[in-house]
Amino acid sequence: MRILVVGAGSTGGYFGGRLAQAGRDVTFLVRPARAEHLRETGLQIVSPHGDVTLTPKLVTAAAIGAPFDVVLLTVKAFALDPALDDMAPAVGSETMILPVLNGMKHVDRLRDRFGEGAVIGGACKVAAAIDERGRIVQFTGLQDFTYGEMNGSATPRIKALDAVMQGAGFDARLSPAITREMWEKWVLLAALGGINCLMRGAIGEIEAAPGGAEFALAFLDEVVSVVRMVGEAPSEAAVAGAKAMLTTKGSPATSSMYRDLQSGARIEADQIIGDLLDRGRRAGVTTPLLAVAYTHLAIYQNGLPASRGVATL
Residue 103 DSSP label:
S
Residue 5 DSSP label:
E
The b/e string for 251-288 (b: 16+ C-beta within 10 A; e otherwise) is beebbbbbebbeeeebbbbbbbbbbbbbbbeeeebebe
Strands (E), the chain: 2-6, 25-29, 43-46, 52-54, 57-59, 70-73, 96-99, 121-130, 136-148, 171-174
Distances (CA, A) of 213 to 244, 255, 311: 10, 17, 29
User: SS3 for 55?
Assistant: coil
Strands 70-73 and 96-99: parallel
Q: How many helices (H) and strands (E) does the chain have?
A: 13, 10
Which of these is catalytic: 57, 105, 159, 185? 185
What is the distance between the alpha carbons of residues 23 and 164, in angstroms, rounded to a whole number? 10
* 185 a catalytic residue: yes
Strands 52-54 and 43-46: antiparallel
The backbone region for 169, taken as left when phi is positive above 0, alpha when psi lies in -120 to 50, beta otherwise, is left
Positions marked catalytic:
185
